[in-house]
Amino acid sequence: FSEKEVSVIFVLGGPGAGKGTQCANLVRDFQFVHLSAGDLLRAEQNRSNSKYGELIKHYIKEGLIVPQEVTVALLKQAIQESYEKGQKRFLVDGFPRKMDQAVTFEEEIVPSKFTLFFDCPESVMLKRLLERGKTSGRSDDNVESIKKRFKTFIDTSMPVVKHFEEQGKVVTVSCDHDMNEVYNQVKAAVKDKIL
């Protein structure tokens, strides 16, 4: 795709920072398709004849990054399907979480417009995830997995944020506030860049 055909905003931030919550707000108010890489992987894991089911299950529980071939293919397919239905604006949530994915996506699919980065203290994210874990049924919403997800985020995903920051393509949102206040920051960032 060219940047004229399709615009992509990457939504990055630690586990439980509120990416999915705020993407849902943006979908409600603007014309975006929300693609959560984690949701796509969980759906693939549960698809009955997927050859990647066991692999995805293991990586998610251990808080590790699934090999890019799997995730990039799922995103490419989802974007293609929506594009064919006339959709042009995408929020790519929770991706790219590793440098190789960032490079491959921008080379093989489309360069991102910018990255919305959700900055949140670990203590706040931990509290949110443990609370959500009471009902989410997610295999990684437990203390052991959460600690591993935090470590992967710092070691592997923050370098991606730094990479885009060096290109002047990051807008940081401070997430340790109530949902409406966070959304005001998100809306301002998106309006400024897209509309």
CB of 23 to Mg ion, least distance (A): 8
- Contacting residue, 20, 53, 67, 111, with Mg ion by CB under 5 A: 20
CB of 170 to ligand UP5, least distance (A): 16
- Segment 158 to 177, residues that bind Mg ion, using CB under 5 A: none
Q: Which is it for strands 33-36 and 89-93: parallel, antiparallel or unpaired?
A: parallel
CB of residue 160 to ligand UP5, shortest distance in Å: 10
Q: 125 and 95 in contact (C-beta within 8 Å)? A: no
Residues 78-137 that bind ligand UP5 (CB under 6 A): 94-95, 97, 128, 132
Residue 21 interacts with Mg ion (CB under 5 A)?
no
Question: Does the footprint of Mg ion cover residue 111 (CB under 5 A)?
Answer: no
DSSP label at 96?
A: -
Based on CB atoms, which residue is closest to ligand UP5, 134 or 168?
134
* Binding of ligand UP5 by 150 (CB under 6 A): no
Sheet holding 33-36, edge to edge: 33-36, 89-93, 7-13, 114-119, 170-174
Contacts 24+ apart (CB under 8 A), 147-155: 147/63, 148/62, 148/63, 148/64, 149/14, 149/15, 149/63, 150/14, 150/15, 150/63, 150/122, 150/125, 150/126, 151/63, 152/63, 152/64, 152/65, 152/97, 153/14, 153/15, 153/97
Q: Under the criterion CB under 6 A, does residue 71 sit at the interface with ligand UP5?
A: yes
- Minimum distance from residue 4 beta carbon to ligand UP5 (Å): 26
Binding site for ligand UP5 (CB under 6 A): 13, 15-21, 36-38, 41, 59-60, 63-66, 71, 94-95, 97, 128, 132, 140, 149, 178-179, 182
Binding site for Mg ion (CB under 5 A): 19-20
